A and B are shown apart, each in its own frame.
Chain A
């Protein structure tokens, strides 16, 4: 089994707000992230896939295909977007880094054919990242 990680970057804005909470609760729980005008991050995404090395190609996965899926499913949908307003999953879920990692996993997992998704890591800043391994 060999693991391969592909990195990508995208920039997006978001804010944290739960309509079930009062205005006061939202401010207390989410702090500055509750500003309804949003704020942005340069996100770094690391997608790790695993698989056996194909004896003919020497690849775990065709990187070209992985890049295409990554662009189509994640970057085209999220780069330079307001996550709350432009990415359907975040119409009802709060676009925290945790949920971003889960949503990216859910978008990628069914589209990857040759290799199996192992981990999605999303850096919101260089000192904060979330790993999701597909655990329920």
Chain B
């Protein structure tokens, strides 16, 4: 029987929304306060949803130790307490939460083999959330 398992993680990071393809004026009108040159931060909540048949021997879709270990190693250790703009993942793209969803989805999709990746969901604040399912 197939089930979906979702695990929620927290990390904090700063960013500035700014596109080199836009003029200063366009950046200001597009990104508003988020274009402030010194950046600002968020406490991001990341939800990772994986799916698969529930193993009859273990009762699990995948062992949480494996998922937690992967996320800790490949995501939290790289993104927590960082300035997103300074990371190679955002060398050419703007670190909006939309793009953050895609970057994190791709990391999981490439490296996590224990279950099927369904989607990645981000809460940037309590008032907004973003989902990416590939």
B and A form one assembly: yes
| Chain A contacts to B: CB under 8 angstroms | 16, 18, 20-21, 29-31, 93-99, 101-102, 126-133, 135-136
Are A29 and B59 within 8 A (Cβ)?
no
B11 to chain A, nearest CB (A): 13
Are B5 and A99 within 8 A (Cβ)?
no
Are A99 and B2 within 8 A (Cβ)?
no
B72 is an interface residue with CB less than 8 A from chain A: no
> What is the bound-complex CA distance between A128 and B48, given in angstroms?
10
B76 to chain A, nearest CB (A): 13
Minimal Cβ-Cβ distance residue in B for A102: B1
Range, interface on chain B: 10 to 19
| Set A29, A30, A96, A136: member contacting B1, Cβ < 8 A | A136
| Chain B contacts to A: CB under 8 angstroms | 1-9, 49, 54, 57-61, 63-65
> What is the bound-complex CA distance between A102 and B55, given in angstroms?
13
Give the residues in chain A near B9, CB-CB below 8 Å.
127
Minimal Cβ-Cβ distance residue in A for B2: A135
Are B3 and A98 within 8 A (Cβ)?
yes
> What is the bound-complex CA distance between A93 and B54, given in angstroms?
11
The answer to whether residues A128 and B6 also contact, given A102-B1, A135-B1 and a CB cut-off of 8 A, is yes
Are B54 and A20 within 8 A (Cβ)?
no
Are B7 and A127 within 8 A (Cβ)?
yes
Are B60 and A98 within 8 A (Cβ)?
yes
The answer to whether residues A131 and B6 also contact, given A96-B59, A102-B54 and a CB cut-off of 8 A, is yes
The answer to whether residues A31 and B59 also contact, given A130-B3, A135-B2 and a CB cut-off of 8 A, is no
Give the residues in chain A near B63, CB-CB below 8 Å.
29
A47 to chain B, nearest CB (A): 15
Are A98 and B65 within 8 A (Cβ)?
no
> What is the bound-complex CA distance between A115 and B49, given in angstroms?
27
Are B3 and A18 within 8 A (Cβ)?
no
Give the residues in chain B near A128, CB-CB below 8 Å.
5-8, 64
B101 to chain A, nearest CB (A): 18
A132 to chain B, nearest CB (A): 5
B16 to chain A, nearest CB (A): 29
Are A129 and B6 within 8 A (Cβ)?
yes
> What is the bound-complex CA distance between A95 and B7, given in angstroms?
18
Minimal Cβ-Cβ distance residue in A for B58: A29
Minimal Cβ-Cβ distance residue in A for B7: A128
Give the residues in chain B near A126, CB-CB below 8 Å.
8
Give the residues in chain A near B61, CB-CB below 8 Å.
98, 130
> What is the bound-complex CA distance between A29 and B62, given in angstroms?
11
